[in-house]
Chains A and B, each alone.
Chain A
Amino acid sequence: MRHTEFKLTTTERPVGRIAILTMDNGEDHTKPNTFGEEAFASLTAALDELEAAEDLKGLLLTGKRFIFAVGADLTAFEGMDAELAREGGRRGHEAFARLQALSFPTLAAINGACMGGGLEIALHCDYRTLSTGAQVLAFPEVFLSILPAWGGTQLAPRIVGARNAVETIVVNALNNNQTMRPAEAFERGFADRFIDSATFLDDSLAFLERLISGEETVERDVDPTEGLEEALDNGRNMADGKTSGATRAPYLALELIEFAARGGDLAEGRQREQDALAELLPSRQAQASVYAFDLVQNRVRKQPWKPDAAPRRIQKAAVIGAGLMGAQLGALHLQRLEVPLVMKDIDDTVLDTCRQHIEGELDKRVAKGRMSEGKARFLKGLVTYTTSYDEVEGADWVIEAVLERMDLKKGIFAELEKVVEPDAILASNTSSLSIAEMAADLAHPERVVGFHFFNPVKVLPLVEVIRTDAASDEALATAFETAKKLRKSAVPCGDEPAFILNRLLLRFNAAAVASLRHGNDFQEIDTAIRKLGLPMGPFVVFGLVGLEVALHTAETLQAAFPDRFEVDDSFRAMGESGLPGVYDWSKGGEVYPEIREAVVVDDDVTPRTEEQIQRAALEAVADEARHMIDDGVVADARDIDTALMLGAGFPFFLGGICRHLDQIGLSEELFGRPFVTAEDGAA
């Protein structure tokens, strides 16, 4: 990608000569402006000119069409050491401070996407206008285990106040990198004027002219300390909740925001940002994040696995089984595909509940103003709720979500084959059964794919696309294309028990659960796992998945891989307990006595330390990942990491898990080689 140039033009206005500084990398809007070494050289040259000019009355800084700037070039972060990181911070500080020190009024006209360093350079101008067309504004740094270190943590509290600074830099970033819409950014105080995109630059220039002439002034009434304590608490709670302290970035960011809000010296603050960057950027958390970011933001979206065949055009879809999962699938298919949809079940009561769910989801969108009533009515009218296969006739894409019984699923596919065209695609949402076996007796087994969602369907972005040896390119291409249309992230995997995510999670969690036999307590185990930086410990996960389902998956895996998956007595007791989870949330999260009593502690053991609990789980998941790669269930470690991040919320700073296992040396120790090789994008 070409580097960003700072292009300087001037215009003679009635108030005098005004400079226009345009950030432009010469590419279209799909390749946004970023700041690397060459960009700073260009900015420095422009600053030399601006400082030398004697007759300038003002400066307008803006971006190329649709893009302001999106900050540092992430690819430059890989393998960076502390000194390079510090130098990168210093370079930005020096240039931006010179911009800030210009003797005439400066206006950042934020015309489009503005993130990280882009927002920081804008904050160094005296004034800011924001276009109604600037759809994305954010400080994403903390999401990547670094922090805004070109003055962001120091200027944001001064300009938008501590509360909004924490909200934007820490809370939004940790909240799955939530970005601000322009109205929200304006509301928070990131701009002085909010201007219609139609003539944004014309009107921004006119605003600057009025500022220069004194016709207009900007009043900012910001007390940086207002709500500071509460904001810091809020930020710390968010960081604790999301990372359990496993990455330092949010905490350092909060310290820096506090320093600035309490009136800390700006030069000193910049120094502290450089120190923080020197610590964070080379850290394993940040390095893993860069890897993770590429997997989740780029690679999975490009679908490198999609066969080069034309996907089947879906003009009618059907879901077989309208229970809890089927209803969710129905709602998703209806809203994203917007084609006639058949919901087929054997039970009218189930269909009624399903209809309520699907229509309720549409009503919710209408209530939130995200869909018109007319559109909702139209979509509702597209759905047929039926107990008859006849209605499925003509469907191009049928997905089954019935009970996990092979005979049942085979029977359904046999029925379907009678009513759909020979090349219609049949998909199964099974979480553990063999797709090949399911398809074996069909006249056209090549049309069958696994298409495995995760609960709750609306929330979790992952879909495992399971390919059998028989599957046709068209069927797979249709599966990938459908995933894209459903706005899900598809990761391919082989037709092996429990596929990718459930298999890995079960092995990982079972290893943690085994610590019960060493005399460790439930909460102690959950806490140890959470401290790795995971969103929840194994017992909470089992509660969400359902104890019975967890046991079923465990048994399936035990049957398939008896030497690696054991179902111990405690585990079995949990699964057979009939309880809604391990913890009784009605009693403040106590462990249900039945489950606690079922624990059998081995003889002659001492409880594991926190590190030992973690180590046992990591060794287990490492071993399983190695098997999956070696057995060809996945092509390489990146697919595993992508699935863990998108399906189970494994954090960027672990890079899924394989990158982390490499970083801590565990993969080297166990297998004598890393998971992620240089060809996979490792530094």
Chain B
Amino acid sequence: MTAEAFYVDGVRVPIGRARDDGYYAHTRADDLAVRAVRALLERNPDVPRERIDDVVWAATAQVGDQGLTLGRSLAILAGLGQGVPGYAVDRMCAGALTAIVNAGNAIRVGAQDLVLAGGVEHMGHHPMGAELDPNPRFLADRLVDPSALVMGNTAENLHDRFPDITRERCDGFALLSQERTAKALADGVFDQHVVPTTVWSPDGWRVVDVDEHPRPGTTLESLSGLHSPFRPGGRVTAGNAAGLNDGAGGVLLASAAAVEEHGLTPKMRMVDYAFVGVEPETMGYGPIPATERLLARTGLTIDDLDVIEMNEAFAVQCVAFLDHFDLPLDSDKVNPYGGAIAMGHPLAFSGARLAMQLAAYLDRHSDAQRGLTTMCVGLGMGAAVLWERA
């Protein structure tokens, strides 16, 4: 017997580019998360800060300004009170999604009532892999192919595995991502969960209030001209892959009792989830078996899902998913607001954005009942979480 865990609200900062002149080049990662946490609670004034039972926060690089067990650091830095605990989680790209699942599970077993869950990744301060020391056995004992450790190469491997997925189809998917994101921005879809943030820059303090990554003027021509950096004759480009980004954000999850006590209006219910392991060399395949397992567990089919928020690490990974489930490239229910190719992918944070956008979609589509958030994960994993309108 399990209790229900509800998604109440979510907040994030605008996603920046991980560059020396990007939004957050001079801003600490933990300060970005503090901004999101405080804005989230400010928007939900009926939730007493000291009643938060836990702060579960993800980061892939848990060192420097993302170290010091982030969840607890945030509880102190954001002024939640000494009595609020917290911890850090890491499942690389699915970090925030894992944080949300953990938080939801704590509520589902009845141990906790109000939990903040989210993620942060400042890829400018923590370039991918820079602070890692992979065990030499991975390669020496041939546990994985060398290509498994470079995400772009795993995407090329996925192309090799599915020869029908051409660069043209991937560029087409990438263009769709840009177009859908541009439209969503124009429609103000993200306004409900993006907060303006004051940041330091060499020109003085400035305010960032819109994602830095999208390239609204993108065309197929411009995409097709891009160089493929991972191998000669490759198909993966900066245009049909997610970017290197900085971002942070999180969500508030609550039990039914907390919803009632504090008069909250939940948007979604966390139904079930699945994490799977796959070949590290084609980690982008992960969402397919993860979703299959989740559907099997819940007795649903892909048609029972009204909307799918899938992380766009690489277009090839998304197209493989669409092909597998016989969905068209421009399926209305997959990434209706575009995705990480346009918006950027600050690794461990991105899962929180998927949940926020799913909630935004349900808000705007009263006929939609059920949605999925799914991601591929480095070292060969897939993650899928099923949500229902509350």
Give A residues with C-beta under 8 Å from B. Answer: 7-9, 11, 13, 20-22, 24, 62, 64-65, 196, 198-199, 201-202, 205
Question: What is the minimal beta-carbon distance from A359 to any residue of chain B, in angstroms?
Answer: 29
Q: Which residues of A contact B205 (CB under 8 A)?
A: 9, 20, 22, 62, 201
Does A199 lie within 8 Å of B207, measured CB to CB?
A: no
Q: Which residues of B contact A199 (CB under 8 A)?
A: 34-35, 38-39
Apart from the given pairs A64-B200, A201-B205, A202-B197, 19 other A-B contacts in the complex at a CB distance below 8 Å: A8-B204, A9-B201, A9-B203, A9-B205, A11-B196, A11-B207, A11-B209, A20-B205, A20-B206, A20-B207, A22-B203, A22-B205, A62-B205, A65-B200, A199-B39, A202-B35, A202-B39, A202-B196, A205-B207
Enumerate B178-223 residues with CB–CB distance to A below 8 Å: 195-198, 200-201, 203-207, 209
Does A21 lie within 8 Å of B204, measured CB to CB?
A: yes
Q: Contact check: which of A9, A24, A196, A198 meets B206 at CB < 8 Å?
A: A9
Q: Which residues of B contact A22 (CB under 8 A)?
A: 203-205
Does B198 lie within 8 Å of A198, measured CB to CB?
A: no
Q: Which residues of B contact A13 (CB under 8 A)?
A: 196, 207
A-B contact pairs, 28 of them (CB 8 A): A7-B203, A9-B203, A9-B206, A11-B196, A11-B207, A11-B209, A13-B196, A13-B207, A20-B198, A20-B206, A20-B207, A21-B204, A22-B203, A22-B205, A24-B204, A64-B200, A65-B200, A196-B38, A198-B38, A199-B34, A199-B35, A201-B198, A202-B39, A202-B195, A202-B196, A202-B197, A202-B198, A205-B196
Q: Does B77 contact A (CB under 8 A)?
A: yes
Of listed A22, A64, A201, A202, residue having the most chain B CB within 10 A: A202
Q: Does B78 contact A (CB under 8 A)?
A: yes
> Given the complex of chains A and B, what is the CA–CA distance between A24 and B38 in angstroms?
27
Residue of B nearest to A24 (CB): B204
Chain B residues touching A, range: 10 to 19
Of listed A22, A65, A198, residue having the most chain B CB within 10 A: A198
Q: Does B79 contact A (CB under 8 A)?
A: yes
Given known contacts A11-B209, A198-B77, A199-B38, A205 and B204 CB-to-CB distance under 8 angstroms:
no
Residue of B nearest to A205 (CB): B198
Q: Which residues of A contact B201 (CB under 8 A)?
A: 9
> Given the complex of chains A and B, what is the CA–CA distance between A557 and B55 in angstroms?
69
Q: Contact check: which of B79, B204, B207 meets A7 at CB < 8 Å?
A: B204
Question: What is the minimal beta-carbon distance from B21 to any residue of chain A, in angstroms?
Answer: 14
Q: Contact check: which of A9, A198, A202 meets B204 at CB < 8 Å?
A: A9
Q: Contact check: which of B79, B200, B207 meets A198 at CB < 8 Å?
A: B79
> Given the complex of chains A and B, what is the CA–CA distance between A515 and B280 in angstroms?
96
Say what secondary structure dominates the interface of chain A. strand
- Nearest 10 A/B pairs, CB to CB: A22-B204, A7-B204, A11-B207, A201-B198, A9-B206, A199-B38, A22-B205, A202-B198, A20-B205, A9-B204
> Given the complex of chains A and B, what is the CA–CA distance between A9 and B205 in angstroms?
7
> Given the complex of chains A and B, what is the CA–CA distance between A205 and B195 in angstroms?
12
Question: What is the minimal beta-carbon distance from A91 to any residue of chain B, in angstroms?
Answer: 22
> Given the complex of chains A and B, what is the CA–CA distance between A657 and B23 in angstroms?
55
Q: Which residues of B contact A20 (CB under 8 A)?
A: 198, 204-207
Question: What is the minimal beta-carbon distance from B72 to any residue of chain A, in angstroms?
Answer: 15
Does B79 lie within 8 Å of A196, measured CB to CB?
A: yes
Residue of A nearest to B209 (CB): A11
> Given the complex of chains A and B, what is the CA–CA distance between A7 and B39 in angstroms?
27
Residue of A nearest to B201 (CB): A9
Q: Which residues of A contact B207 (CB under 8 A)?
A: 9, 11, 13, 20, 205
Residue of A nearest to B77 (CB): A198
Does B35 lie within 8 Å of A11, measured CB to CB?
A: no
Q: Which residues of B contact A64 (CB under 8 A)?
A: 200
Question: What is the minimal beta-carbon distance from B65 to any residue of chain A, in angstroms?
Answer: 14
Given known contacts A198-B34, A202-B196, A205-B198, A11 and B206 CB-to-CB distance under 8 angstroms:
yes
Question: What is the minimal beta-carbon distance from B199 to any residue of chain A, in angstroms?
Answer: 9
> Given the complex of chains A and B, what is the CA–CA distance between A512 and B34 in angstroms?
64
Question: What is the minimal beta-carbon distance from B30 to any residue of chain A, in angstroms?
Answer: 11
Q: Which residues of A contact B79 (CB under 8 A)?
A: 196, 198
Q: Which residues of A contact B195 (CB under 8 A)?
A: 202
> Given the complex of chains A and B, what is the CA–CA distance between A21 and B205 in angstroms?
8
> Given the complex of chains A and B, what is the CA–CA distance between A11 and B196 in angstroms?
10
> Given the complex of chains A and B, what is the CA–CA distance between A202 and B195 in angstroms?
9
> Given the complex of chains A and B, what is the CA–CA distance between A22 and B201 in angstroms?
10
Does B197 lie within 8 Å of A198, measured CB to CB?
A: no
> Given the complex of chains A and B, what is the CA–CA distance between A205 and B207 in angstroms?
9
Question: What is the minimal beta-carbon distance from A509 to any residue of chain B, in angstroms?
Answer: 54
Chain B 22-56, CB-CB to A under 8 Å as 1, else 0, gives 00000000000011001100000000000000000
> Given the complex of chains A and B, what is the CA–CA distance between A22 and B200 in angstroms?
10
Does A198 lie within 8 Å of B78, measured CB to CB?
A: yes
Residue of B nearest to A7 (CB): B204
> Given the complex of chains A and B, what is the CA–CA distance between A52 and B94 in angstroms?
50
Q: Which residues of B contact A205 (CB under 8 A)?
A: 196, 198, 207
Q: Which residues of A contact B206 (CB under 8 A)?
A: 9, 11, 20
> Given the complex of chains A and B, what is the CA–CA distance between A202 and B198 in angstroms?
6
> Given the complex of chains A and B, what is the CA–CA distance between A65 and B198 in angstroms?
12
Question: What is the minimal beta-carbon distance from B265 to any residue of chain A, in angstroms?
Answer: 23
Residue of B nearest to A132 (CB): B79
Question: What is the minimal beta-carbon distance from A308 to any residue of chain B, in angstroms?
Answer: 33
Q: Which residues of B contact A9 (CB under 8 A)?
A: 201, 203-207
Question: What is the minimal beta-carbon distance from B194 to any residue of chain A, in angstroms?
Answer: 13
Question: What is the minimal beta-carbon distance from B193 to any residue of chain A, in angstroms?
Answer: 16
Q: Which residues of A contact B209 (CB under 8 A)?
A: 11
> Given the complex of chains A and B, what is the CA–CA distance between A22 and B203 in angstroms?
8
Q: Which residues of A contact B39 (CB under 8 A)?
A: 199, 202
> Given the complex of chains A and B, what is the CA–CA distance between A65 and B199 in angstroms?
10
Q: Which residues of A contact B35 (CB under 8 A)?
A: 199, 202
Question: What is the minimal beta-carbon distance from A16 to any residue of chain B, in angstroms?
Answer: 13
Q: Which residues of A contact B203 (CB under 8 A)?
A: 7, 9, 22
> Given the complex of chains A and B, what is the CA–CA distance between A199 and B198 in angstroms?
9
Question: What is the minimal beta-carbon distance from B264 to any residue of chain A, in angstroms?
Answer: 22
Residue of B nearest to A196 (CB): B79
> Given the complex of chains A and B, what is the CA–CA distance between A199 and B195 in angstroms?
12
Question: What is the minimal beta-carbon distance from A134 to any residue of chain B, in angstroms?
Answer: 15
Residue of B nearest to A62 (CB): B205
> Given the complex of chains A and B, what is the CA–CA distance between A33 and B135 in angstroms?
49
> Given the complex of chains A and B, what is the CA–CA distance between A198 and B42 in angstroms?
13
Chain B 65-98, CB-CB to A under 8 Å as 1, else 0, gives 0000000000001110000000000000000000
Q: Which residues of B contact A65 (CB under 8 A)?
A: 200
Question: What is the minimal beta-carbon distance from A657 to any residue of chain B, in angstroms?
Answer: 46
> Given the complex of chains A and B, what is the CA–CA distance between A525 and B81 in angstroms?
60
Question: What is the minimal beta-carbon distance from B57 to any residue of chain A, in angstroms?
Answer: 15
Question: What is the minimal beta-carbon distance from B234 to any residue of chain A, in angstroms?
Answer: 40
> Given the complex of chains A and B, what is the CA–CA distance between A199 and B37 in angstroms?
10
Question: What is the minimal beta-carbon distance from A165 to any residue of chain B, in angstroms?
Answer: 30
Q: Which residues of B contact A198 (CB under 8 A)?
A: 34, 38, 77-79
